[in-house]
Amino acid sequence: MQTMGLALHTDKYQINMMYAHWYGGTHKRKAVFEAYFRKLPFGNGYAVFAGLERIVHYIANLRFTEEDIRYLSEQEENYDSGFLEELRQFHFRGTIHSMKEGALVFPSEPLIRVEGTMMEAQLVETALLNFMNFQTLIATKASRIKQVAGQDTLLEFGTRRAQEADAAVWGARAAYIAGFDATSNMLAGQKFGIPTKGTHAHSWVQSFKTEQEAFDAYAKVLPDQVTLLVDTFDTLKSGVPNAINTAKKLESIGKKMSAIRLDSGDLAYLSIKAREMLDEAGLPYVKIVASNDLDENTILNLKAQGARIDIWGVGTQLITASDQPSLGGVYKLVERDIDGIMTPTLKISANPEKVSTPGKKEVYRIIDKVSQKALADYICFPGEEQPSDGRKITLFNPQHPYLQKSVRNYEATPMLEPIFVDGLQVYTLPKLEEIRSYHVEQMNMFWPEYLRKLNPEIYRVNISHEVWELKKNMMAEYMQEEDI
pLDDT of 482 reads 60
Given this structure, which CATH class describes domain 12-138+325-482?
A: alpha beta
d(Cα 200, Cα 229) in Å, to the nearest integer? 7
d(Cα 290, Cα 294) in Å, to the nearest integer? 8
Buried b (16+ CB within 10 A) or exposed e, 266-300: ebbebbbebbebbeebebeebbbbbbbebbbebbb
Any idea which of 126-130, 195-199, 312-316, 401-405 has the lowest mean pLDDT? 401-405
d(Cα 72, Cα 84) in Å, to the nearest integer? 8
Gyration radius of the chain over CA positions: 27
Yes or no: is domain 145-319 CATH 3.20.20.70?
yes
Residue extents of the structural domains in the chain: 12-138+325-482, 145-319
With a CB cutoff of 8 Å and minimum separation 6, the contacts of 186 are 196
d(Cα 271, Cα 267) in Å, to the nearest integer? 6
Residue 320's nearest CA partner among 151, 141, 459, 196 is 141
pLDDT in tens, 334-367: 999 999 999 999 998 878 888 899 999 999 999 9
pLDDT of 3 reads 45
DSSP state string for 86-147? HHHT-----EEEEPPTT-EE-TTS-SEEEEEEHHHHHHTHHHHHHHHHHHHHHHHHHHHHHH
Are the CB atoms for 436 and 176 separated by under 8 Å? yes
Are the CB atoms for 273 and 236 separated by under 8 Å? yes
**Dihedral in degrees, nearest 10, Cα atoms 139, 144, 150, 151:** -20
**Dihedral in degrees, nearest 10, Cα atoms 373, 379, 381, 383:** -10
Q: How many CB atoms lie within 10 A of CB 419?
A: 21
pLDDT of 4 reads 52
Q: Which helix (H) or strand (E) holds 153?
A: strand 153-156
pLDDT in tens, 71-82: 999 999 999 999
Q: How confident is the model at residue 483 (pLDDT cuts 50, 70, 90)?
A: low
With a CB cutoff of 8 Å and minimum separation 6, the contacts of 75 are none
pLDDT of 2 reads 46
Residue 459's nearest CA partner among 92, 50, 45, 6 is 45
Are the CB atoms for 132 and 55 separated by under 8 Å? yes
Share of the chain above pLDDT 70, in %: 98
At residue 311, does pLDDT exceed 50? yes
d(Cα 273, Cα 9) in Å, to the nearest integer? 52
pLDDT of 138 reads 98
pLDDT of 81 reads 97
Buried b (16+ CB within 10 A) or exposed e, 460-470: bbbbbeebbeb
pLDDT of 349 reads 82
Any idea which of 77-86, 332-341, 382-391 has the lowest mean pLDDT? 382-391
Q: How confident is the model at residue 402 (pLDDT cuts 50, 70, 90)?
A: confident
pTM > 0.75: yes or no: yes
